[in-house]
A and B are shown apart, each in its own frame.
Chain A
């Protein structure tokens, strides 16, 4: 696609302005993580100071931030992988097969995401307690317990997003592959998935972010063994004040893994293998 220079210049101006709108508050906040307590907040803002790592030390060591980080990493990646394994085939079926009730089922699926989290907390807690006491299956305050419950909001989303990407593709693609001797599953794995790869990556990233920032279910169903990062962020909004330096130190710990993930996957995100309209 050839883009006129004026159009390109305009695109740059708008995008850079937006980037500034993102970067200014984020940087302004993030440098606080390196400020000593007395200048966390000041008027006028303090720009020049001697950076300190005491906030990170407090958050990471005294408040066991690394434990929260480990829990968050395990729970988020675990639940995203499970959601993709279960959700992608289902999404494919919804996109490719017309069967009675398929539309109703899809609509019903997205409505599942609408359940306010407060409604989910107590039933799950009660179920876990029942499983533990009645059947001796311990899920409270465990990784599998949280990974399963996270499917409530991840699985519908995976199915919905992936279905959107599958539907975009012409059905002729797998049909010709199947003529060449692939099974339906083989066609899905070898022919279709490589093409919708950017969609899978986008789905994975977004679901990771949702799992990463999930808060209410984690609060109710985790304990000191499985508490996640967002829960620890809340502890720096204390009654007396917001502990800005500690809060932004935690926030950096929350942001950096997702950003790293995005960097690793950035090529995949826009790599429309055979059909991309741009490259």
Chain B
């Protein structure tokens, strides 16, 4: 114990001297040289194994890090819905319960303002290790790893919208013939909303317990997510205009709502859809009850796992359908991206922050990400998504990469969850048969009030648009002396 304290003191002193001595003096764990500067220490991580990819990281990457560094990782594994209250309480009181925490893209803005996210620049500048922040698409990095202009995290997962479908149904000659007869064209994975509705209607056969497709309408957050991911953005709906006025009462937004939450589309989905959340939708697909399913990239490993899905052998992936612009004849499509990053608790002692950085740069660095992707097909770094060997093994990585480049992040503002709730409620009421125009207009007004209440109009605080976020990323990378193709 005493030795431990001395060690800590020495490290503290070393850490304090850092700005003076310069970068080359900071040592990180390095499997190549066998350096283990943090050997014997413990690192506490607040985590949630909310999707399989995060569990794989725990099972594959973390033992590798422990072996390379001699550090013991101590996990506090909470349910996804419980992680945020845990972090908020700890942060608000200045607690040091954990060194590293799991932070979803929507939470970082508020937590940074609360003062509990450590900025990573100085660690990188002193000892970059294997962290390579330029190895992410700017869209993904801006959404997942940044809080406004601050760099606070290393992404552990980048989720993008994906579309899963049943290859056995689409390749069945009988189905193809029947579809040709009914619609006069070939049966194909839909590329537009119109096609989605048609193909969905074709496969909707309640007598056979088969339905066209499946989305999540069950919570305000979920219904909004799918409305915006899969439909709104492609139709040109945005969250806010340049003057920060909410745009949910525009003609495009109302049209989208009446389509997505309208009875025609709802009726192509299994009964109970108004209350479906992630679980039910996934369950319906893996049990072979639906032909198509709007999902996200993190679901892929589970959908391909024959122990988890009855249709694992017959699951194909495609981009989410877009909107056929009647004026230009083009198919417009857009995707929303989201995901968590690991971030360092600002309230821990300086020497622990270096240990935390050591874990982030190595366990979630380039080399270990490659190992993870190779074994599980989960990847979010450019180097992984574009690696020919990995792509050959896991073809969906290419679609992931394309999506990660264009994915649009949700606003990461402290008031956003409340706004999300207001608009999601309105959409649920549309799904229950309410009038889209008036409900969306009301929700739009609510959002204006929520934003005003947060002081955004009169206190001169500005909202960070998607484009601005990319500019922030490029500026940050330039600060760090890095170049990025997308910033040219």
Q: Which residue numbers of A lie inside 8 Å of B, CB to CB?
A: 36-38, 41-43, 63, 118, 121-122, 125-126, 129, 140-141, 219-220, 223-224, 227, 231, 234-235, 237-242
Contacts and interface: CB of A to CB of B under 8 A. Distances in A.
Contacts of B74: 224
Contacts of B464: none
Contacts of B314: none
B278 A241 contact: yes
23 contacts: A37-B307, A37-B308, A38-B308, A38-B309, A41-B283, A43-B289, A63-B77, A121-B85, A121-B89, A125-B89, A129-B93, A141-B97, A219-B78, A219-B82, A219-B86, A220-B86, A220-B89, A223-B76, A231-B79, A235-B79, A237-B81, A240-B279, A241-B279
Contacts of A122: 89, 92-93
B52 interface: yes
A241 B80 CA distance: 12
Contacts, number: 88
Nearest to A222: B76
Contacts of A38: 306-310
A141 B74 CA distance: 14
A234 B308 contact: no
Contact of B49 (A125, A220, A231, A235): A235
A238 B282 CA distance: 11
Given A36-B307, A37-B307, A231 B92 contact: no
Given A42-B287, A63-B77, A240-B278, 13 more contacts: A38-B307, A41-B283, A121-B89, A129-B94, A219-B82, A223-B97, A224-B75, A231-B78, A238-B51, A239-B50, A239-B51, A240-B279, A242-B279
Contacts of B49: 235, 238
Interface string B10-35: 00000000000000000000000000
A239 B283 contact: no
Contacts of B78: 219, 231, 234-235
Interface in B80-138: 80-82, 85-86, 89-90, 92-95, 97-98
A239 B44 contact: no
A242 to B, nearest CB: 5
B8 interface: no
Given A238-B51, A239-B80, A125 B90 contact: yes
A43 B209 CA distance: 9
Nearest to B306: A38
Contacts of B89: 121-122, 125, 220
Interface of B is mostly: mixed
A141 B279 CA distance: 32
B406 interface: no
Interface of B: 44, 48-52, 74-82, 85-86, 89-90, 92-95, 97-98, 209, 278-279, 282-283, 287, 289, 298-299, 302, 306-310
A76 B80 CA distance: 25
A29 B348 CA distance: 43
Contacts of B92: 122
A231 B82 contact: yes
A219 B85 contact: yes
Contacts of A141: 97
Contacts of B287: 41-43
A150 to B, nearest CB: 17
A42 B287 CA distance: 7
B294 to A, nearest CB: 14
A14 B85 CA distance: 44
Nearest to A218: B82
A89 to B, nearest CB: 34
A140 B97 contact: yes
Contact of B50 (A41, A118, A126, A238): A238
A237 B79 contact: yes
A198 B81 CA distance: 39
